[in-house]
Amino acid sequence: MSRISRRKWLVGGVSGVVGVAGVAAAGDAARRHGLMPPDAGLRFGTGAALTYAAQRTLTGESRAREFRREQISAKPFANPSQMKEEAYARSREKGFADWQLQVEGMVARPGAISLAELKEIPARSQITQLVCEEGWSYIAEWTGAPLAAVLEQAGALPDARYVVYYSMEKDWWDSIDMADALHPQTILAHGMNGGAMPAEFGGPLRMRVPRQLGYKSVKFINRLLVTDRIEKVGNGLGSSGPDYGYSWYAGI
């Protein structure tokens, strides 16, 4: 589905299901409980707000489904990205030995973590499904450092509310709330299907957020920003997605 048609579909779907008064009341309740997604002010935001508030309230710590080894897709589907940054090509030539993850914002110990250091963090391996909003999916095993462990190492402050993550690829950034950031299945993946993370799949480092749609699993991650004020970051909407009709919250 194209970005435009998806947006029309979202707006149409929401207004078809929920009455205007009901939406307003639910919106007030969500706001009181701090469950408003950053893009709630947009046209399609009301539906996303209801989904986000309902999921956070009802499913809490639930896990994304994990699969058996024999269910791993024979051919994982790489959604080709337009990764044209020169810095990326240079790092790739060095086998990504110089790749760094900058960690900044509301952390006691800001700074850069090398890929080698990330690999020293006890890794989690999980067989999960990547689900693209365009309708395809595949199952693979991802291995990486739990984001919670990286945040703990950096000393994330207790008032932090969001983790923003940036790709080396232009215009790709996104964020998740602390419920997803600290969730055990949210990992900074450096391995896939038993090997290093291939470049097509976002190597050397990609976010994997299996409780949300594929577009939240941003590739080529080189920077984290921990914050309590998402409206001050970038376009203020929590991700680059809303500019193209993608909602910030994409829970599945």
Ligand X SMILES: Nc1nc2c(c(=O)[nH]1)N[C@H]1C(S)=C(S)[C@@H](COP(=O)(O)O)O[C@H]1N2
Q: Rule CB under 5 A: which residues touch Mo ion?
A: 132, 214-215
Q: Which residues in 43-82 contact ligand X (CB under 6 A)?
A: 77-79, 81
**Binds ligand X (CB under 6 A): choice among 151, 218, 224, 225:** 218
> How many residues sit in the footprint of ligand X (CB under 6 A)?
16
Are the C-beta atoms of residues 13 and 43 closer than 8 Å to each other?
A: no
Alpha carbon distance 142, 127 (integer Å)? 6
Shortest distance (Å) from residue 169 CB to ligand X: 4
Give, in degrees to the nearest 5, the angle at Cα 22 between 17 and 28.
Answer: 130
What residue 165 binds from Mo ion, ligand X, none (CB within 5 to 8 A, per partner kind)?
Answer: none
The piece of 13-21, 177-185, 210-218, 234-242 that touches ligand X (CB under 6 A) is 210-218
Alpha carbon distance 173, 175 (integer Å)? 7
**Binds ligand X (CB under 6 A): choice among 47, 124, 219, 226:** 219
What residue 4 binds from ligand X, Mo ion, none (CB within 5 to 8 A, per partner kind)?
Answer: none
- Which lies closer to Mo ion via its Cβ, residue 132 or residue 199? 132
- Which lies closer to ligand X via its Cβ, residue 77 or residue 228? 77
Query: Phi-psi region for residue 169, left (φ > 0), alpha (ψ -120 to 50) or beta?
Result: beta
Q: Which residues of 129-158 are buried (b: 16+ CB within 10 A; e: fewer)?
A: bbbebeeeebbbbbbbbbbbbbbebbebee
Residue 193 binds ligand X (CB under 6 A): no
Alpha carbon distance 128, 249 (integer Å)? 19
Alpha carbon distance 204, 192 (integer Å)? 10
Token readout for 38 is 């950053």
Residue 249 binds ligand X (CB under 6 A): no
Token readout for 193 is 């299907």
Shortest distance (Å) from residue 134 CB to ligand X: 7
Residue 1 contacts by C-beta under 8 Å, 6 or more apart in sequence? 9, 133, 134, 135
Shortest distance (Å) from residue 157 CB to ligand X: 27
Residue 129 binds ligand X (CB under 6 A): no
- Which lies closer to Mo ion via its Cβ, residue 117 or residue 243? 243
- Which lies closer to ligand X via its Cβ, residue 27 or residue 191? 191
Q: Which chain residues interact with ligand X by CB under 6 A?
A: 77-79, 81, 130, 132, 167, 169, 172, 201, 214-215, 217-220
